[in-house]
Chain A
Amino acid sequence: MITTSATGASPPTGSLGSPAIVARGLTKRFGAVTAVGDLTFEVRPGHVTGFLGPNGAGKSTTLRIVLGLVHPTAGSATVLGLPYASLDRPASVVGAVLEVQSFHPLRTGRNHLRVLAAASGFPDTRVDEVLEIVDLTGAAGRKAGGYSLGMRQRLGLAGALLGDPRVLVLDEPANGLDPQGVRWLREFLRRFAARGNAVLVSSHLLSEMDQMADEVVVIDRGRLVRQGAIADLTGGRSSLWVSSRDHAALGRALIAAGLEPRPDGDAGYTVPGAPADLVGEIALRAGVALTELNTRETTLEDAFLELTEGAER
């Protein structure tokens, strides 16, 4: 449940007909290291946009630039048409969770939220409402330092929701959540977006993102690799999965035939773009007994690995 209760907030600036978040040519260098390079993307209202990239791709830095925490070396980012620092009441426009640990451990959950509510002029009644939304009411009087990882995530989300914002920016929000919590988060974000709001969420849980997001922005080494609907990335394409007890021999045979098998688990390979009958023939000629050969729809994970393949980590 998410409420739309009055929080005393003035109407946010900008229009939801246009992109909720716009990043143009974002570049951030830390000394000789370019964390983000000429990155341009948009986040549309009414959608959950997944922000994907390998570890160290620059996702967190990008989110922090969007939220005014990190100064870009070049480029600009706006939220509902304005730089974050220029928003009149930012907490009423954007709710963000960037870190699991973002509170004084000796402060109670409720007091942490009261501190944040006061900074934006929200009444304490709103604190109780968001505690209820994230199901933390029972633990609100306990010191936040004693919370589990999942409870910390929910406390962060409660803080983000204080201003009943129109844009959510979340960095790895599913970390530490149990399966029920992950499902709750997914459904919550989808309902939030369905009301015309925008969500930008980074995650390394690609299967989760597959179910949660409508669109994705994929970056690698600070640069945009692809932006688009998940359906466009994966739709209409399939890949072949083949396995054998003699994993090494199968791999050699496929490579020798000019294919590009990608190890997928201990026993098999994903072979993009290869028909099943061809792979069967290759295995037969090589004398490799197959244990499984099937075609499956390309998942977001497959598409992501294809897009970021070759990255040296």
Chain B
Amino acid sequence: MRNQVTSEARKLLTTRSVWGLLAGTVVISGLAAWAVAANMRLTGPIGLAGLPGFQEMMALVPAFVLVLGIRSYTDEARHGSLVPTLLSTPVRRRMIGAKVAVAGLAAIVFAVAGATTVVAVSSLVLSIDGVAVTVGSIGALIWLLAKVVGVCLLWSAIGVGVGMVVSHQVAAIVGSLVWLFALENLLDALAPDLARYLPGHAGMSALGVEAYGTLGPLTGAWVLAGWAAACLALGAGRFQRRDIA
């Protein structure tokens, strides 16, 4: 399994797309942090974990992680590298495990990069406005980061699963983003009690975004984990039976 993980990591690091997604994460997180922090009316000193709107600023990072996870499989299906991959690793569940592991590791990096950007940009903007930003409670800061990392890990697994179910790359990415940013909101307007259990809403609840927080962080995390397990199970089942013709 270690060989497969190394191979998957090399796949990820030897094309530019991963760096583009990471750059996108940093830029979007930075812009969100700047927009929120610039409109704050704070006076007193504030700890990092208490930055207002931190969770909202991080809300777009899972979308990048989702795309990363989807590409983990669909890149191979699209370019034909799935054949040599399966010739090296004919036990398919091993290949899936390696993809989930590497997408998860990348998700941690994305989460930390996004959080660091948000903290850095917010602190800079607030400092310019004369607000003193302190480190504050380390425990609270770690908990905040843990939530972001956990949610991103689950979204990366959902991405790998979705990629295996819908192996057409464009369809998988566009479909997922439309679902996340349009259809879920539409369903929220029509049936809010149902919508809160959908993956996008559950992820927001897990992050602690108040507008979506009807489930609470813990339940939101469990619901999102359920979606991740379902997507992986469905994707793995289809992939195990698929003929690579």
- Report A's interface with B, CB cutoff 8 A: 30, 60-61, 64, 67-71, 84-85, 87, 90-91, 94, 96, 98-99, 101-108, 111-112, 114-116, 118-121, 159
Contacts and interface: CB of A to CB of B under 8 A. Distances in A.
Contacts of B245: 30, 60-61, 64, 69-70
Given A102-B80, A115-B7, 7 more contacts: A70-B243, A90-B90, A104-B81, A107-B11, A115-B11, A118-B7, A119-B3
B88 A101 contact: no
Which 10 A-B residue pairings sit nearest by Cβ, starting from the closest?
A: A119-B7, A119-B88, A118-B7, A69-B244, A85-B90, A111-B14, A118-B6, A70-B243, A102-B80, A121-B3
A68 B90 contact: yes
A106 B15 contact: yes
A171 to B, nearest CB: 10
B4 interface: yes
Contacts of A69: 83, 86-87, 243-245
B85 A119 contact: yes
A77 to B, nearest CB: 12
B80 A101 contact: yes
B10 A101 contact: no
Among B80, B85, B89, the one with the most A-chain Cβ atoms within 10 Å of its Cβ is: B80
A121 B84 CA distance: 14
A195 B4 CA distance: 31
A148 B105 CA distance: 35
B41 interface: no
Contacts of A99: 80, 83
Contacts of A60: 245
A69 B85 CA distance: 11
B79 A103 contact: yes
11 contacts: A64-B243, A69-B243, A84-B90, A102-B83, A103-B79, A107-B14, A115-B10, A119-B89, A120-B88, A121-B3, A159-B84
A99 to B, nearest CB: 5
Contacts of B87: 67, 69, 90-91, 94, 96
Grouping DSSP codes into helix (H, G, I), strand (E, B) and loop, the A interface class, with mixed when no group exceeds half, is mixed
A70 B244 contact: yes
Contacts of B80: 99, 101-103
B75 A104 contact: yes
B105 to A, nearest CB: 15
- Bin the interface of chain B by size: 20 to 34
A85 B91 contact: yes
A114 B10 contact: yes
Given A68-B90, A71-B241, A118-B10, A107 B84 contact: no
Given A118-B3, A119-B3, A107 B15 contact: yes
Contacts of A108: 14
A102 B84 contact: yes
Contacts of A68: 86, 90
Nearest to B13: A111
Nearest to B6: A118
B11 A104 contact: yes
A67 B89 CA distance: 11
Contacts of B89: 119
Contacts of A159: 84
A134 B195 CA distance: 57
Interface string B59-92: 0000000000000000100011101111111110
Contact of B79 (A30, A90, A105, A121): A105
Contact of B88 (A61, A64, A91, A98): A91
A188 B14 CA distance: 31
Given A103-B79, A159-B84, A87 B90 contact: yes
A302 B80 CA distance: 35
A268 to B, nearest CB: 40
Nearest to A65: B243
B16 to A, nearest CB: 7
A87 B86 CA distance: 13
Contacts of A101: 79-80
A94 B17 CA distance: 32
A121 B10 CA distance: 13
A116 B88 contact: yes
Contacts of B81: 102-104, 112, 115
Contacts of A107: 11, 14-15
Contacts of B3: 118-121
B233 to A, nearest CB: 19
Nearest to A103: B81
